[in-house]
Structure 1
Amino acid sequence: MAELVWRGKALPRPSGVEVVVEGFYGLVDGEVMGAGAPGDWYNRLLHGERGLALQALQSEFAGKVDLIYIDPPFMTGRTFKNGAQILTGDGISYHDIWNNDLDSYLQWLYETFYYLYELLAKDGSLYVHLDWRATHYARVILDEVFAGRSRSKGAGLKNEIIWHYQSGGRAQKSFARKHDTILLYTKTAEYCFHSERIGQPRGEKKRNHMRKEVGPDGHTIWTIRSAGKLYTYRADSTMSLDDVWSDISHLHQKDPERTGYATQKPVALLERILLASTEENDLVLDCFCGSGVTPVAAERLGRRWLACDQNKGAIAVTRQRLLQETRRNVFALQSVNRIE
């Protein structure tokens, strides 16, 4: 198997961590329940560096997370600042600088994927959201982590999803970069996937070499003959979604969904991923929760969740969004610290 090598490549070195409960939030808006843990399940919003947070989750959740979605730093070389809506913290969402040190970034990705693999269930799915700067590196590292550590022939890459959008300016000396890439990896061939939930109507538009007809009931139908068989589809029938998603818009500056957090993704994107790859009450993890889109989508679809971020502004925004949602479970606000 091909392997990516960089300066300082090594497995992560676990450190001592402690989790401090800041409080529990009930099902009523703004209800603070104190530090006493409820008897049943509760979701978790963790403030802490991603390595510490993922280590802290291992003892309870190793092999139990049904879906992981991450939208990590892309190594853009930029510092992303919050919008005017966010009044907490130092006004910075996160630094994506890395001192132009690709080796340190690759090691950081490697450690992240290593911990996520440990948390992922055997029938779970990992979605990694990146762009042109880092996707090719991440793919080789993920191949090593998934295929190299699994005895299942079905482990590894399932899809390279292109999320195409129209936003921002146009380049003068290159083709305009208007897409992100989302890599879908699984531990085995037995993973949850429901294409029928996210399918789209076939519609009236001509597709391939199909023949358009009008059925006895007056509805449009499409027919195609293959291997001696005639296949018939109604215009309103569901068609499986392909791996290029151009129907979900990037959030514009005045979009009512905007929170002010930089690099915020639309809830519709996460809802599609969760519908396709989870069942109700499944457990979802996002260790770069940012604006809180993953736990918000999970709440709306009846999934349990674990969300982490090292930025205080991200935690504040996520907490506020969750308090505005109709919640199915109590959630805890926790901080994760290193034990020296």
Structure 2
Amino acid sequence: MANHLYYGDNLAVLRESIRDESVDLIYLDPPFNSNASYNVLFKGGDGAQSAAQIEAFDDTWHWNDSAEEAFGEVMRGGNAAASTMLRAIRSFLGDNDMMAYLAMMAVRLIELHRVLKPTGSLYLHCDPTASHYLKILLDAVFGATNYRNEIVWLRSRNPKGSQHGVKQLGKSTDTIFYFVKSASAPLYRERIMRPLTSTEIEEKYAFVDEVGRWDDGPVMRSGSMGDRENLVYEYKGFTPGPAGWRMEIEKLKELDRKGNLYWTSTGRPRRKLRPEDDKGTTISNYWDDIPPLNSQAKERLGYPTQKPVALLERILNASSNPGDVVLDPFCGCGTTVHAAQKLGRQWVGIDVTHLAIGLIEKRLRDAFPGVEFTTHGVPQDIGGARELAARGKYHEFEKWALSLIAAQPGNLSKKGADKGIDGNLWFGAKSEGRAIVSVKAGGNVGVGMVRDLRGVIEREGAGVGILLTLTEPTRPMLTEAAGAGQYELPGFAPVPRLQIVTVEEAMRLRDRALRLPARRDDAFKRAVVEKDPGAQGRLDL
């Protein structure tokens, strides 16, 4: 299957592009617009939320024709348990946003069940807003006997809602439901042992010798383990009883050579257990050892709901093997596909926003130089870009073009005109600089467009203007742009105040096609290069 990134509605992609029983592991973190910040992909320079990601789901989680159609598909489908359960939930909830969300999720969960192998596992990540309803749907689709765990992840040690005067307890955890397709699905618990902390090592390995810390352990088998004639032999004048030693003589000699065999005052042999041989402790369903990403985390890319790679690595190590296929149908900023690439899994990511697709492409290429994957549903060359523009879906072209240079959409909401602002970029050490982007998809371009953009940046008090055009600029346009002069941010080299960038250049160079002083880091930050893509990430405890 190799690696594939899809732009589009995950329901359509699942039905049209993913075969039955072809996926080994599914992780999904489906958005629910109970809190606007949950779906926000970007924030402005002043911290204000952007409508870009919210707009992508604006028509999804409301009860409308699409929700009614999704409900009808479940009713007419072959999963009787799912249709019965969804009908019962609707009789209780009525036709509202929550019901629309559950109808949309139900039809997708049925498709996810279809593409999962009999040995496959599914992990659904959610917050308390809809977790109780989602668990009921999962029971119906996968079968209650295939429920394995409700994993509780401690995502915050300083939860909101715990301040004085707030009449509810702080919300500090997320829920991850773990289901399997059948009883044959594996769980590799030994791969996800939690390493001991330094304090735990000191407590458990309290003795110290010239080699290091150690703890006392047996080297002979107990009588309850049964007789083992082949393990009964003499070593340094000592012969154990009929149960024998715990190892063959060559391993016992090696243990002794390493200083890990000692003799008690009564002359009986014992083993010195070392912390470096300790695999750690078995984890339960309460995960408090993987901290959320703070604002200073190296892997943070500026996506508010970004999950730590270590969280996804634990899930992938627990339920998949190298070469297995991992699917994330709501892949957001791409943490799942990043972890899959790092651990040698094949992967499929799907997202409905051009912004997310652009971020994932950049993240993977930054972290894994030479990585190979195929992006579907977006232009791959200038011919494809012209075809997208020619379809008449200007806003789709605009959002895709902005994603090439990692720009935040300007006024893409349905309220009012864009006022000449198609996108924004923030730069400067304190995000004090702003660049306004104007996207032009038409074949007729002229100097008036440059003048208009200059008027917009002057009206808005922005430092730089970017004209992103599908058509090559004319000489008078270049002359007019050069006449706008330079913009200089204190402490940085001056840059052209008006810049004209072609879509073809942006496709080739991405955000390097622009010249901005100290571009802000928390929009599309460069991912850290993975030095050893095949190695499992260590947890910072």
- TM-score, normalised to structure 2, is 0.47
Give the deviation of 1:47 after TM superposition: 0.3
For 1:121-160, what aligned pairs fall within 5 Å after superposition? 121-147=117-143, 155-160=145-150
Alignment match, 1:176: 170
Equivalent-residue separation in structure 1 for 2:154 and 2:185 (angstroms): 26
Secondary structure at 1:255 match in 2: coil
Give the deviation of 1:328 after TM superposition: 7.4
Give the deviation of 1:259 after TM superposition: 1.7
2:337 counterpart (265, 274, 295): 295
Alignment match, 2:179: 185
More strand by share: 1
Give the deviation of 1:116 after TM superposition: 0.3
Unaligned runs of 5+ in 2: 63-95, 218-223, 226-271, 379-387, 389-541
Aligned residues of 2:205 and 2:274 also touching (Cα < 8 A): no
For 1:239-318, what aligned pairs fall within 5 Å after superposition? 239-318=281-360
2:22 counterpart (46, 61, 64): 64
Aligned residues of 1:286 and 1:307 also touching (Cα < 8 A): yes
Alignment match, 1:51: 11
Q: Confirm whether residue 118 of structure 1 aligns to residue 114 of structure 2.
A: yes
Equivalent-residue separation in structure 1 for 2:44 and 2:185 (angstroms): 39
Alignment match, 2:154: 164
Question: Structure 1: which amino acid aligns with 2:169?
Answer: F
Q: How many residues align?
A: 278
**Residues 261 and 118 from structure 1, CA distance in 2 versus in 1: closer, same or farther, beyond 3 angstroms?**
same
Equivalent-residue separation in structure 2 for 1:91 and 1:253 (angstroms): 22
Equivalent-residue separation in structure 1 for 2:351 and 2:216 (angstroms): 49
1:74 counterpart (27, 32, 39): 32
Equivalent-residue separation in structure 2 for 1:74 and 1:185 (angstroms): 21
Give the deviation of 1:322 after TM superposition: 1.2
**Residues 315 and 203 from structure 1, CA distance in 2 versus in 1: closer, same or farther, beyond 3 angstroms?**
closer
Question: Structure 1: which amino acid aligns with 2:153?
Answer: W
Identity of aligned residues (%): 34
More helix by share: 2
Question: Structure 1: which amino acid aligns with 2:194?
Answer: Q
Structure 1, residues 180-210: CA drift from partner, whole Å, max 9, x if none?
000110011111221111102356768xxx9
Aligned residues of 1:75 and 1:133 also touching (Cα < 8 A): no
Aligned residues of 1:43 and 1:332 also touching (Cα < 8 A): yes
Higher relative contact order, structure no. (Cα contacts within 8 Å, ≥ 6 residues apart):
1
Runs of 4+ in 1 over 4 A off after TM superposition: 202-206, 210-218, 232-236
Aligned residues of 1:44 and 1:305 also touching (Cα < 8 A): yes
Structure 1, residues 275-301: CA drift from partner, whole Å, max 9, x if none?
111110110000100001111111111
Aligned residues of 1:213 and 1:222 also touching (Cα < 8 A): no
Secondary structure at 2:31 match in 1: coil
Equivalent-residue separation in structure 1 for 2:296 and 2:17 (angstroms): 37
Equivalent-residue separation in structure 1 for 2:23 and 2:161 (angstroms): 40
Structure 1, residues 220-270: CA drift from partner, whole Å, max 9, x if none?
4388xxxx99xx986552221111111111112333322222311111111
**Greater Cα offset, 301-310 or 93-102:** 93-102
Equivalent-residue separation in structure 2 for 1:110 and 1:259 (angstroms): 31
Give the deviation of 1:323 after TM superposition: 1.3
**Residues 219 and 282 from structure 1, CA distance in 2 versus in 1: closer, same or farther, beyond 3 angstroms?**
same
Aligned residues of 1:44 and 1:331 also touching (Cα < 8 A): yes
Give the deviation of 1:147 after TM superposition: 1.4
Alignment match, 1:196: 190
Structure 1, residues 4-32: CA drift from partner, whole Å, max 9, x if none?
xxxxxxxxxxxxxxxxxxxxxxxxxxxxx
**Greater Cα offset, 118-127 or 320-329:** 320-329
Secondary structure at 1:275 match in 2: helix
For 1:317-332, what aligned pairs fall within 5 Å after superposition? 317-326=359-368, 330-332=372-374
Alignment match, 1:108: 104
Secondary structure at 1:200 match in 2: coil
Unaligned runs of 5+ in 1: 1-40, 149-154
Aligned residues of 1:160 and 1:182 also touching (Cα < 8 A): yes
**Residues 283 and 215 from structure 1, CA distance in 2 versus in 1: closer, same or farther, beyond 3 angstroms?**
same
Give the deviation of 1:77 after TM superposition: 4.1
Question: Structure 2: which amino acid aligns with 1:78?
Answer: A
Across the aligned residues of Structure 1 and Structure 2, the Cα RMSD in angstroms comes to 3.1
**Greater Cα offset, 210-219 or 274-283:** 210-219
